[in-house]
Chains A and B, each alone.
Chain A
Amino acid sequence: MGKKINKQADADLVRDLKQGDPAAMEEIVKRYSNKVYNLAYHLTRDAHAAEEIMQDVFLTVIAKIGTLTTEAYFSTWLYRVTTNAAYGYLRKEKKFSEQTPVEDIDQEQYLDYDWSTLPDDVLLSEESKEVLRESIDSLPEAMRTVVVLKDVEGLKNEEIAETLGISVPAVKSRLHRGRLILRQLLSEYFSKYTEPSGEEK
Chain B
Amino acid sequence: MNCKLCSALFQEFLEDSLSEELIVEVQDHIRTCSKCRVSLRTYTLTVTLSRKVDPPCCVSPETLDRLKKIIRERLLKTNGVPV
**Residue ID in chain A nearest B68 by CB atoms:** A29
| Interface-central residue, B43, B49, B53, by most chain A CB under 10 Å | B53
Interface pair A55/B50, CB less than 8 Å apart: no
What is the minimal beta-carbon distance from A157 to any residue of chain B, in angstroms?
Answer: 8
Q: Which of B33, B41, B51 contacts A152 (CB 8 A)?
A: B51
Number of A-B contacts (CB under 8 A): 123
B2 at the interface (CB under 8 A from A): no
Contact flag A186-B42 (CB < 8 Å), given A34-B59, A62-B75: yes
**Interface size in chain A (residues, C-beta < 8 A):** 49
A119 at the interface (CB under 8 A from B): no
Q: Which of A33, A129, A154 contacts B59 (CB 8 A)?
A: A33
**Residue ID in chain A nearest B37 by CB atoms:** A199
Chain B interface, >50% SS class: helix
Chain A interface, >50% SS class: helix
Interface pair B41/A116, CB less than 8 Å apart: yes
What is the minimal beta-carbon distance from B59 to any residue of chain A, in angstroms?
Answer: 5
List the interface of chain B (C-beta within 8 A of A): 7-8, 10-12, 32-35, 37-39, 41-47, 49-54, 56-59, 63-64, 67-68, 70-72, 74-75, 78-79, 81, 83
List the interface of chain A (C-beta within 8 A of B): 20, 22, 25-26, 29, 33-34, 37-38, 41-42, 47, 51, 54-55, 58-59, 62-63, 111-116, 123-124, 128-129, 132-133, 136, 147, 151-152, 154, 172, 175-176, 179-180, 182-183, 186-187, 197, 199-201
